[in-house]
Structure 1
């Protein structure tokens, strides 16, 4: 993943990441999910951010993806 081609659009817990990923895929955007905590665990190191993940999308899809993140966050806040 070339850093200049992809941008991080969200960092949060597994549940919200899964919801956002599903909504992105529904509109044809394939996100990349990074889980540093899991990578550290597999390498034998402890992790302070277990269960938190990052969502990255290609810069060409950035505007639509950010709108999806905002929509999901608004829906989650409204249901709380």
Structure 2
């Protein structure tokens, strides 16, 4: 299955939110996948507490990588 999104970060939720904020400043809307929060909302537990993934659309990947490098 092909995806139009690429993961650019996996790690601490605080760092992920910082990256999302910096991307938003340049007009990129990122997608955050937080398994622990999803599990909590569904009433389940998770062993991945505090870990999140950040995805961007492939068309914006080059710009997003510049933000990560800075």
TM-score after normalising by structure 2: 0.87
Please give the root-mean-square deviation of Cα atoms over the aligned residues, in Å: 1.5
Shift of 1:11: 0.7
The corresponding residue for 2:36 is 37
Structure 2, unmatched stretches of 5+, are: none
* Other structure's SS at 2:21 match: helix
Structure with the higher helix share, 1 or 2: 1
TM-score after normalising by structure 1: 0.78
Name the structure, 1 or 2, with higher relative contact order (CA <8 Å, separation 6+).
2
Structure with bigger gyration radius: 1
